[in-house]
Amino acid sequence: MRLANVGGRATILANGGGIDVQRSSNGWFSSSPQALYEKWDAFRVFANTLNPAMATPIDEATLRSPVPAPRQVFAIGLNYRAHAEESGMEIPRIPATFTKFPASLAGPFDPVERPGNTMDWEVELVAIIGNRADRASAADAWGHIAGLAVGQDFSERTVQRAAGAQFSLGKSFRGFGPIGPCLVTPDEFTDPGNLELGCRVNGEVMQHSRTNDLIFSIPALIEQLSAVLPLLPGDVIFTGTPAGVGAARKPPRFLQVGDVVESWIEGIGTIRNNVIAPAG
Ligand code: ZN
């Protein structure tokens, strides 16, 4: 199943269009995409009963984040071997974890303000929690995942590195966490643990890798994070970025006003964010 947020309403994508969740369930399920994660298993059963022929056209420009208001957002640094190497860092033994504060999240096609001179790109696979995970095992991890989406972990490197390290702040400027274009459930993939992903800036390929290069896979992350605290329905995990970020280039390269950043993952889709000047 592919679940989208069309103009604020939960919508199942089918036949090139969409089926409105609240209307097709006669109000049994909420129009709020975030609320669906609280009843994820029941919602999956309901979604399977829908006839794809019910789909009506949707306007891509109205897509918002399929997970607009998570309670917790986890983000993992240095989780691809080649990216840890280009950053000059050791391969971590526990996941290097920070947060993107929820108010920094955005829709898949939202413009993003450039807050400073060292704004960088990081395409990432995003995992969204369906069933609460508390002390979960890696073997059971996929049962806790509602689905996968494309994320972009925009980063302001100067702030990120200030005062020792300010990862959470440097990665939480307005609009710095676009997610989309939709959530795709794990059963839709031949192997949800091995997906091609990449990032283009103005059409030029900057990052290109596969998620089977992750140091901590999604099951490993679920096990290790849920050993510390419960992962709640509708929570988000940015799983880390592959090599090719701007800060590691020689010379370094950063985003400019007018740049177009496209982030894509095999079997999910592409999100696109235009870099704009900050509002006064
Ligand atoms: Zn990142």
Task: Give per-residue pLDDT as tens, 117-132.
Answer: 999 999 999 999 999 9
Phi, psi of 158 (to 5 degrees): -65, -45
Residue 180 three-state SS = strand
62: pLDDT confidence band, cut at 50, 70 and 90?
A: very high
Mean pLDDT of the 6-32 span: 97
What pLDDT is attached to residue 86?
Answer: 85
Cross-strand bridge partners of residue 19: 12
164: pLDDT confidence band, cut at 50, 70 and 90?
A: confident
State pLDDT tens for residues 31-49: 999 999 999 999 999 999 9
Q: Which of 80, 73, 245, 43 is nearest to 154 (CA)?
A: 245
What distance, in Å, lies between the first and last C-alpha atoms of the chain? 41
Q: Which of 76, 145, 150, 48 is nearest to 106 (CA)?
A: 150
CA of 187 to the centre of ligand 1 (A): 25
CA of 177 to the centre of ligand 1 (A): 10
CATH of domain 73-276: 3.90.850.10
What pLDDT is attached to residue 177?
Answer: 98
Contact between residue 243 and residue 262 where contact means Cβ atoms under 8 Å apart: no
CA of 97 to the centre of ligand 1 (A): 10
CA of 171 to the centre of ligand 1 (A): 8
Retrieve residue 173's tokens.
């400027």
CA of 240 to the centre of ligand 1 (A): 5
CA of 180 to the centre of ligand 1 (A): 16
Instruction: Check whether 280 has a pLDDT greater than 80.
Output: no
Half-sphere exposure of 151 (CA within 13 A, CB side): 31
Placement of tokens 């059409």 in the chain: 203
Instruction: Check whether 167 has a pLDDT greater than 90.
Output: yes
Whole-structure pTM over 0.75, yes or no?
A: yes
What pLDDT is attached to residue 92?
Answer: 86
Mean pLDDT score of the chain: 96
Residues of the chain with pLDDT > 70, as a percent, come to 100
165: pLDDT confidence band, cut at 50, 70 and 90?
A: confident
Residue 46 CB neighbours (<10 A): 17
82: pLDDT confidence band, cut at 50, 70 and 90?
A: confident
What pLDDT is attached to residue 144?
Answer: 98
What pLDDT is attached to residue 90?
Answer: 85
Residue 186 three-state SS = helix
Instruction: Check whether 15 has a pLDDT greater than 80.
Output: yes
Query: Would you list the domain boundaries of the chain?
Result: 2-64, 73-276
Instruction: Check whether 83 has a pLDDT greater than 90.
Output: no
CA of 96 to the centre of ligand 1 (A): 10
